[in-house]
């Protein structure tokens, strides 16, 4: 699902809000989540999962084409950990 599909689905389920209002709300939520992650904050959405930042220090790597050693700077990578509730919901046998 992409953002526009989410907006469309939320608009269809709501009898009160227009699509432009839902779009503004989704954009606001995504911006707030992005801002929190960029500050290094952890985000937890109960029943869904949590987003957090892992920090990696400097290290040396090798360019596979030239064999040249390259120094990689510090970096921060976002990670997602699924909640137990969502994990169980996804793994229910539907046989």
Residue 94: pLDDT band with limits 50, 70, 90? low
Question: By residue range, what is the domain housing residue 51?
Answer: 42-95
Quote the mean pLDDT of the chain.
93
Check whether residue 47 and residue 85 sit in a common domain: yes
DSSP string, the chain: --HHHHHHHHHHH-SS--HHHHHHHHHHHHHHHHHHHHTT--EEETTTEEEEEEEE--EEEE-TTT--EEEEPPEEEEEEEE-HHHHHHHT----
Q: Residues 7-55: pLDDT tens digits?
A: 999 999 988 999 999 999 999 999 999 999 999 999 999 999 999 999 9
Check whether residue 27 and residue 49 sit in a common domain: no
Q: Residues 60-86: pLDDT tens digits?
A: 999 999 999 999 999 999 999 999 999
Query: Domain holding 87: CATH number?
Result: 4.10.520.10
Check whether residue 84 and residue 48 sit in a common domain: yes
Q: Residues 44-57: pLDDT tens digits?
A: 999 999 999 999 99
Check whether residue 89 and residue 68 sit in a common domain: yes
For the chain, the domain total comes to 2
What per-residue confidence (pLDDT) applies to 92? Answer: 84
């Amino acid at each position: 699902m992409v953002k526009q599909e989410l907006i469309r689905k939320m608009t269809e389920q709501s009898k009160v809000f227009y699509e432009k209002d839902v779009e503004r709300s989704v954009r606001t939520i995504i911006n707030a989540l992005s801002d929190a992650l960029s500050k290094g904050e952890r985000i937890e959405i109960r029943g869904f999962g949590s987003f957090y930042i892992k920090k990696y220090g400097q290290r040396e790597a090798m360019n596979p084409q030239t064999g040249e050693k390259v120094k990689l700077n510090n970096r921060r990578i976002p990670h997602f950990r699924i909640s137990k509730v969502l994990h169980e919901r996804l793994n229910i046998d539907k046989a």
